[in-house]
């Protein structure tokens, strides 16, 4: 299958994680440990309603991937092992999405981290663009109009 890679986070000359975007199973995360000679799939989206847009890493082990809203809230994945495995974070701490609100699929830069726990998610498509901010690696978020 042909994949649309939109975001790559490299840790060094050998190790990197890449996000492929698209609806349903087209959204995937791949990892290389040999400078890109081979890639291993570490996540394949199985929810046809989900579409992942971007990823970021706090360090070489801890990272997040963000997708468009599912059931009215943005979906966020988390890894604690350098992208070898991923889990969907609970959405209880995520503000409700506005009508038409989504991430920026073509940019690969809608999710940015700084330091060990801060992360920002930018949105568009609604009447007001927003920036969502988490101070705890994506568990809880606050929204601000941009």
Q: Is the separation of the CB atoms in 119 and 134 below 8 Å?
A: yes
57: containing domain: 4-145
Look up the pTM and report it. 0.95
For the chain, the domain total comes to 1
Strands in 81-138 per DSSP E: 87-88, 111-114, 118-122, 130-134
Give me the tens of pLDDT residue by residue for the chain, a chain 146 residues long.
789 999 999 999 999 999 999 889 999 999 999 999 999 999 999 999 999 999 999 999 999 999 999 999 999 999 999 999 999 999 999 999 999 999 887 677 899 999 999 999 999 999 999 999 999 999 999 999 98
Distances (CA, A) of 138 to 5, 74, 89, 91, 141: 23, 11, 8, 9, 7
CATH of the domain at 68: 2.130.10.10
Any idea what DSSP says for residue 24? G
């Amino acid at each position: 299958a042909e994949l649309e890679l939109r975001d790559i986070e490299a840790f060094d000359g050998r190790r990197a994680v890449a996000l492929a975007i698209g609806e349903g199973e087209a959204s995937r995360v791949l990892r290389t440990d040999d400078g890109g000679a081979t890639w291993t799939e570490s996540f394949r989206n199985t929810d046809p309603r989900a579409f992942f847009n971007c990823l970021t890493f706090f360090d070489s082990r801890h990272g997040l991937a963000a997708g468009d809203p599912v059931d009215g809230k943005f979906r966020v994945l988390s890894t604690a092992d350098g992208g070898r495995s991923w889990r969907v974070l609970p959405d209880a701490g995520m503000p409700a999405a506005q009508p038409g609100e989504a991430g920026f699929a073509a940019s690969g830069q809608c999710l940015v981290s700084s330091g060990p726990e801060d992360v920002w998610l930018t949105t568009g498509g609604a009447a007001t663009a927003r920036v969502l901010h988490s101070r705890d690696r994506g568990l809880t978020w606050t929204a601000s109009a941009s």
